[in-house]
Structure 1
């Protein structure tokens, strides 16, 4: 049964068949789970059943880099060509975030330009870390500078922690959330969010637990001149706290696997109202899980206009191409 709601899903993965075979040959299980099958037709069925008008496709961890720059460039190009073909076949139903071969800087810059200018990518997907390198590290400053100049939307998806997983706990359960917080916090503490403010960052899974620990991050960030009087120091700390909170609130957050009655209110109490986006995490979240989390999301009481903003209007502001393609408001069942 099709739900005519018109959601825009910013966290929807593509798994090209060749890439899936490569991961299987390497014995890799992204996030500790088996590589799912994907096709445009499967996605469209899932979307129709969950009121999703358009999905922005992205590659999940482990990304394109497996130790060799040339190989990473080839994989990234193949993935991006495959995703772009899905968009050409279904321009109103799909968009895509381009994959880069990070930490290969030269190849990543070339692929970003090709994907944005030739393939028409809607943005870029970066892993929270790639081969242990985080996006805020100085090595990647030229890439962030380029994405800033392009005013790119960058979807920050968790990668595997650069450490052994805890026994018996798949990395998607908790490690993914920690690595998202590591990357986002690093982007703030390094000054990258402010320096490259042309980038619109989307954090997967409600930013991990970033909203919960936002004030803990503030304690790391705030510095006040010790010679100030106690009263002036309190005022200075409050002013600095509010300024730094504003920096943290520049992030966008998707609600993939994070839309329960416990998690969603925490996110909404922290995030800017225009910076919360719908996400499903399909197909790594299989169809029953997507349906369950969508139902959980629909059961959460929201303020007037908040659900429509999360479902679509916040995303339309980020991706004007979708509005140009006539992704119109649709009636609720």
Structure 2
């Protein structure tokens, strides 16, 4: 079946060079992974043809574009170059690609400027934000102006997981509970859950009605502990009287989409479907950080799983129509 891929990445050459030079980006081993994957538009289009992907929405993966803590000048430069590179790829291959622009968070002023530039000059269809930006989570009041601006511009915000970071005064500590285990294997799921909790308990989602949120990897580990988060939300700093489970479900069903990148079948999908219905599901390959051969086998697993749960008509809506609703028919 035809599909639109909302969770897929590119690796521009200039960005690769920055990562290879950056200690914080792991010098070519981001988030503990073996290497930064090779990428080209041609290889990407080849996979798209194999999987009947009608359109791919490119974005940067972790560690995104603010690579060195405290170096906002570098962050702005890397971000602008990456966004220009993605825009050029889309212009060169308009039938295949759209893109979510990056922001140089935690640099607020740089991010406010980049929002307007990416929308007004580069043709971005939304923005990718990490689940934490050098240890600051999206609901933090320090980011209020950024999310207010994103709401004002009525944008899509795609949250991508990254390594958990803890701030100690002027330093940052990367959290590696299991030494030698790369963060994407398990820790990415937990950081996605932290970001969702931060957004919902801070009131950011309610305060910013112009944003449509996209969460990766089938909601990560949030669904099974949603009621626990709601029950104790009044104890979260900045959450006021807290938020109810019913209110969270209402926001998830109306303001959020969830992509199916990763391994949502056979088990993970069922927890998410207790919170939202099939109209909030999207396809995602996570290519090239998920290699082509694995992306192909996972796509088949998603197709078979959706067919078994919903049948052909709803499967087609999940793979294609929901993304067209999100992005707009003209751009999808």
Where on the TM-score scale, by shorter chain, does this alignment land: which range? 0.7 to 0.9
User: What is the TM-score when the length of structure 2 is the normalising length?
Assistant: 0.88
1:124 pairs with one of 123, 127, 130: 127
| Equivalences for residues 26-45 of structure 1 within 5 A | 26=22, 27-33=27-33, 34-45=35-46
Partner of 1:324: 330
SS in 1 for 2:298: helix
Q: How far apart are residue 265 of structure 1 and its match?
A: 2.8
CA contact 1:13–1:57 (8 Å) conserved in 2: yes
Q: How far apart are residue 244 of structure 1 and its match?
A: 3.2
- Structure 2 segments unaligned to the other structure (5+ residues): 166-173, 236-242
Size of the aligned set, in residue pairs, is 306
Q: How far apart are residue 222 of structure 1 and its match?
A: 7.0
Partner of 1:242: 246
Q: How far apart are residue 217 of structure 1 and its match?
A: 1.7
Q: How far apart are residue 308 of structure 1 and its match?
A: 1.2
SS in 2 for 1:155: strand
> In the TM superposition, what whole-angstrom CA distance separates every residue of 1:193-221 from its partner, at most 9, and x where no partner exists?
11112111101111211112222222123
Q: Aligned pair 1:267/2:267, yes or no?
A: no
User: What is the TM-score when the length of structure 1 is the normalising length?
Assistant: 0.88
2:76 pairs with one of 73, 77, 93: 73
Q: How far apart are residue 14 of structure 1 and its match?
A: 1.0
Stretch moving more, 291-300 or 25-34: 25-34
CA contact 2:249–2:275 (8 Å) conserved in 1: no
SS in 1 for 2:128: strand
Partner of 2:136: 133
Give me the whole-angstrom Cα distance separating, in 2, the residues matched to 1:272 and 1:189: 22
Give me the whole-angstrom Cα distance separating, in 2, the residues matched to 1:244 and 1:76: 32
Partner of 1:22: 18
CA contact 2:162–2:184 (8 Å) conserved in 1: no
Give me the whole-angstrom Cα distance separating, in 2, the residues matched to 1:295 and 1:221: 38
1:309 pairs with one of 281, 300, 317: 317
CA contact 1:12–1:58 (8 Å) conserved in 2: yes
| Equivalences for residues 48-87 of structure 1 within 5 A | 48-65=49-66, 66-67=68-69, 68-87=71-90
Partner of 2:109: 106
Give me the whole-angstrom Cα distance separating, in 2, the residues matched to 1:57 and 1:313: 18
SS in 2 for 1:270: coil
> In the TM superposition, what whole-angstrom CA distance separates every residue of 1:129-185 from its partner, at most 9, and x where no partner exists?
111111111111000000011110000001111133121211001110111000111
Select the structure of larger CA radius of gyration.
1
Q: Aligned pair 1:258/2:263, yes or no?
A: yes
CA contact 2:153–2:210 (8 Å) conserved in 1: yes
Q: Aligned pair 1:213/2:221, yes or no?
A: no
CA contact 1:154–1:200 (8 Å) conserved in 2: yes
After superposing on structure 2, the runs of 4+ consecutive aligned residues of structure 1 that deviate more than 6 Å are none
